[in-house]
Structure formats: structure tokens, C-alpha cells
A and B are shown apart, each in its own frame.
Chain A
């Protein structure tokens, strides 16, 4: 059982390019999340999905988009990358939304925008 997988592990991207970060979970979790983690800052929520077919904006959604066509996959797209999007990106999932549902995290994607 893999849990949550993310691809790629790391990427160097030229500014202005389009990039999709992939996230797949095999736990049949309803809720999925995308976070970015920057040095000295806490994890910040980019977008989330409470169930397949629905998505919502988190704290820092600008420049990012997501889709949730099925339960397992939750890709994150940067339409036109900028250097400030250099970060470590974590995908996470939970069985449901709300208290007591712990989140399970993927291994992360380290993205550098030059």
C-alpha cells in the first residue's frame, strides 16, 4: 500500500512555464489538500477538495489551479510559474473533513522556479 504518491520528486522550472504536480492516493480518502512549505513559515493551504468533483480555495490560491475528477487523483497546476512559487509542495488526504480526521502527507515535490 503506497498511501500518497507525488510526482515529480523535484523539478527546476523556467519562469513562465506551465507545470502540473501530480498526487495520487490509494486510501479512498474523500478529502485532499495541497500545501506549500517555505522556510520559516508554516504549511500554507493552496487548494482543497472535500470530495470528488468539488474544490475550494485555501489561504494562498493565486497562480494555482486544481481539479478532482475522481477520488484518487488531485493534480495541482501552475499556469505560468514565477520565482515566488519556489517551494516544497505537499499533497495530503484525510478520510473526511473536520475534527479528528488526521491528514496523511505525500513525500513532497521540491520545485525551483528560475
Chain B
């Protein structure tokens, strides 16, 4: 079966760094996406990885290891507005996105 695993909830402090992990088992792999979703809103795109390694985009970075079926999203210099759910999604061999349940990130002052 296809499976995406993420922690359900994480708490971090404003100004700190947090790493959100995602492990996956899917039928085929065509890329991995991270999306951000604020409560009551639609998901919005954060990052895309298809090759192993780190992709950096401002305060956010995403890492991929295809051999380990593993990715992480790294958020630096946390701000209160970063309080949201972070969704990991893998594109399978049918070019469909398989989504994790999301990690709710709580930022405390």
C-alpha cells in the first residue's frame, strides 16, 4: 500500500529552528512536495524535491533522500505566522499526489 508518515503535532519557540520529518512508501516516485495550510484555509505550495539533497528557499529548506524514502522541511527563524499545518505529498507513478495527514506546528512566544 501507499503510506506517508508525518508527526501529528510539533511545538517550537519563536525565533528557533524546527525540522518536520516525512517518510514515505509509494508505488513509484516522481517528486515530493511540501505545502503549508493555515487553519480554515487552502494549502499553498512551499517546495518541491525530485533529486536527493537540500533545496533552500529563504527561511524554508527541504531535504530529500530517495533511497531512504525520507524528507524533511526545515523552518528557520520561526515567526508566529508560521503556526500552521505542513503537508507532505509524494507524486506516485500515476502522477497522482499521495498526501500525508499533515503536521500541526504550534509556535510559542
Contact = CB atoms under 8 A, between A and B. Distances in A.
Instruction: Decide whether A and B are members of one complex.
Output: yes
Dominant SS among interface residues on chain A:
loop
Given A99-B30, A99-B31, A100-B48, A45 B43 contact: no
A98 interface: yes
Interface residues of B, number: 22
Given A43-B87, A90-B42, A98-B91, A103 B97 contact: yes
A43 B96 contact: no
Interface stretch (A19-27, A67-75, A76-84, A104-112): A104-112
Interface stretch (B11-19, B60-68, B72-80, B98-106): B98-106
A100 B95 contact: no
Contact of A107 (B42, B91, B100): B42
Contacts of A106: 42
Contacts of A51: none
Contact of B97 (A45, A104, A108): A45
A40 B101 contact: yes
A104 B45 CA distance: 8
Chain A interface category by residue count: 20 to 34
B42 to A, nearest CB: 4
B50 A42 contact: no
Contacts of B45: 102-104
Given A40-B101, A105-B43, A107-B42, A97 B95 contact: yes
A58 B50 CA distance: 23
A42 B99 contact: yes
Interface string A37-52: 0001111110010000
Interface of A: 40-45, 48, 58-59, 90, 97-100, 102-108
26 contacts: A40-B101, A42-B98, A42-B99, A42-B100, A42-B102, A43-B43, A43-B87, A43-B89, A43-B99, A48-B96, A90-B43, A98-B30, A98-B91, A99-B30, A99-B48, A99-B91, A100-B31, A100-B50, A102-B33, A102-B48, A103-B45, A103-B97, A105-B43, A105-B44, A107-B41, A108-B41
